[in-house]
Chain A
Amino acid sequence: MSQLSNIIRLSFRDYSHEWRMSGCFIFALSSVLAPMMILFGLKFGIVSSMVDSLVENPTNREIRPIGSGRYSEQWIEDFRKRKDIEFIIPKTRALAATIQLKSDTATRILSSELLATAEHDPLLAGIPKIPADYDEVILSHSAAKKLNVQQGDRIDASLARQFRGKRERVHLTLNVIDIVGSTVTSRNVAFVNLDLLVATEQFKDGREVPDLGWDGDSETSVSRVFPSFRLYARSIDDVEGIVTELEKQGVRVKANVAEIETVQSIDQNLSIIFWIIACVGAAGFAFSLGASLWANVDRKGKDLSVLRLIGFKSSVIVLFPVLQSCYTAILGWLLAVLVYLGFEQLINRFLAPRLNLDQSLCYLLTEHFFWALGLTVFTAIISAILGGLRASGIEPSDGLRDL
């Protein structure tokens, strides 16, 4: 224990005494480690951002039917139960799914597209309340801007039809319960409850809507059939399977399959390139660190011989260069982390906005820093042990004569 505590003390005293040399070792280590960390930060940042945006962007998971079909409520319900489908909701005919919106603060009437929505709609991710009644609406950013309204405002919605030779118009007051961001859609869209969308189509078709007091022909059909639907796969990997299933049922659809494959391929190739660079860099880093520590052990051979002469055991003396290597590894890592964090800020603050990226271009998780520390200390210890064993194997009498 005495020898161990003494060797810790001596190794640190020597390390701090030779602060210029120690500083050079620390700088040498961090100058190799910091670029590696930046490279990993970029790999982790850019690639993760790409994959995340691919996965999170509902547009990439949307499967759109081509043309009109006949989809029963039961057919849609059956699809909703599939595990690979995150969301499906019927759509009415495009012509019937438009509504005129007017606010007190805007001069003109806005013709807006109506889209049915419900809980778990990927387009409305993060929106706390979804329209549940006839009088609730969520507006797209574009529609809200043109109507000059904010969340909580009330707007007038109106529908017109030609019925029994007369032109009729009905009005409905809608509460704007939320407004979605511009990234969701650039169109003028009003997200409403499915019942309101259906009621709109019924009114335009000349049928009555008792719930809203709109007159018309009585409803005869019990089961409803929709011409289209809005469908999102749970992940980009599920898109292809759903497309195949729908096509098997004779439903012609369109999806971003080619784009998904392209981005997945880019992701894989970029990862391979990054890993090749990283492996070459890591090998260079290990050799560089090993060489500098080996040289340090060689330089310390004379002092180590004196320690053996005074009575230190060989096994304890091996710790002298190992401890000094650990000091270099820890301080070099610390400096590399500071350099990395500086560059991370620089890249994310100045470069990311130029590329119009919302996410960080370069970032590492906390565990990545500790992995880097572990790898550095491990490499340092292995190099120093090899050097230390070599030093302890030298006859002390040989080392002393060089003093």
Chain B
Amino acid sequence: MSIVYDLKNVVKERLVDGVGFRLQVPSIEIKAQENIALVGHSGCGKSTLLDMLALILHPDKSDQFTIDPVDGESQSIDKLWHRQRQSRLSQIRKQHIGYVLQNGGLLPYLTVRENIELPRRLLKLADDDSINSIARVLGIHRQLDKLPGLLSAGERQRAAFARALSHRPSILLADEPTAALDPITTRKIMAVVMELIKGLKITLITASHDWAHVYKMDLRVLMQEAEPVDDGRIYQSTFHD
């Protein structure tokens, strides 16, 4: 299996409410079609790491940060950020990455169908039956012509997964996608999603603070450890296997 993400000594620093926050990733290798869970308590930097993996947040420092969404097409992300190659980053993002936000992030002015279609339209992919198929699998085929505001929380998350998967990305990132859902709905949705990504041979990286849920899904866990350093002025969070 090829290495999809290869990160070495990646650092991102931020100032949160006057206190410094440093996210440190000593070394992470994520292989193609692996299913990863970033686990840690709220505010430890799971979303920050996901955003860096989604290429929408640049690292402050890195010895290595590469992405290889398709076997043999390794890209040095730190160099692209350094050279301000925003177009190339956008290109990789729209072609190879699907991202599910905690609350779906559906555009409220488009119907569910149009939301799901959007990544495909950007890539000028053929208007085949894939939207209907994926909607049927996720159980939202009857909601396709509704606006997101008319859907339940569970349906919105299903629609968000459908949008993230509609253009057949090789990487699916999910930021606590079921945090707002009840356990039964969570179980149902994740079961369907796991089936889908297995069939589509997608690499899944999801953030969660729900240990029990992660263990049930049989994911490789990247743990987070957080500690105050520099006399408490900086809160340092480190991810490792």
Residues of A within 8 A of B (CB): 2-3, 6, 10, 13-14, 16-18, 303, 306-314, 395-397, 400-401, 403
Contact = CB atoms under 8 A, between A and B. Distances in A.
B7 to A, nearest CB: 17
Contacts of A10: 107, 109-110
Contacts of B124: 2
Given A396-B56, A397-B48, A311 B90 contact: yes
B34 interface: no
B193 interface: no
B87 A313 contact: yes
B119 A310 contact: yes
Nearest to A308: B56
Contacts of A401: 47
A17 B109 CA distance: 6
30 contacts: A3-B122, A6-B121, A10-B107, A13-B109, A13-B114, A16-B109, A17-B108, A17-B109, A303-B107, A306-B101, A306-B107, A309-B56, A309-B93, A310-B93, A310-B119, A311-B91, A311-B93, A311-B94, A312-B94, A313-B86, A313-B90, A314-B90, A395-B56, A396-B56, A396-B57, A397-B56, A397-B57, A400-B51, A400-B105, A401-B47
A18 B109 contact: yes
B95 interface: yes
A14 B87 CA distance: 25
Interface string B94-112: 1100010111010111100
Given A2-B122, A309-B105, A310-B119, A395 B57 contact: yes
B205 interface: no
Chain A at the B interface: SS class: helix
Contacts of B174: none
Contact of A6 (B54, B109, B122): B122
Contacts of A395: 56-57
A303 B87 CA distance: 19
Nearest to B96: A311
A397 B108 contact: no
Kindly state the interface size class of chain B when it binds its partner: 20 to 34
Nearest to A302: B105
Contacts of B196: none
Contacts of A6: 118, 121-122
Given A2-B121, A18-B109, A303-B108, 19 more contacts: A3-B122, A13-B109, A17-B108, A17-B109, A306-B105, A307-B107, A309-B93, A309-B99, A310-B93, A311-B90, A311-B93, A312-B122, A314-B90, A397-B51, A397-B57, A400-B56, A400-B101, A400-B105, A403-B103
B189 to A, nearest CB: 19
Interface string B115-149: 00011011010000000000000000000000100
A308 B86 CA distance: 11
A181 B140 CA distance: 81
B85 to A, nearest CB: 11
B90 A312 contact: yes
Contacts of B95: 311
Contacts of A308: 56, 90
A379 B159 CA distance: 39
Contacts of B90: 308, 311-314
Contacts of B119: 310-311
Contacts of A16: 109
Contacts of B122: 2-3, 6, 310-312
A314 B91 CA distance: 12
A11 to B, nearest CB: 10
A216 B94 CA distance: 111
Nearest to B109: A17
Given A2-B124, A311-B94, A13 B57 contact: no
Contacts of A3: 122
A308 to B, nearest CB: 7
Contacts of B147: 17
A396 B55 CA distance: 10
B86 A314 contact: yes
Contacts of B102: 403
Nearest to B54: A309
Contacts of B121: 2, 6
A310 B94 contact: yes
A310 B101 contact: no
A306 B98 CA distance: 12
Contacts of B87: 313
A312 B87 CA distance: 9
Contacts of A13: 109-110, 114
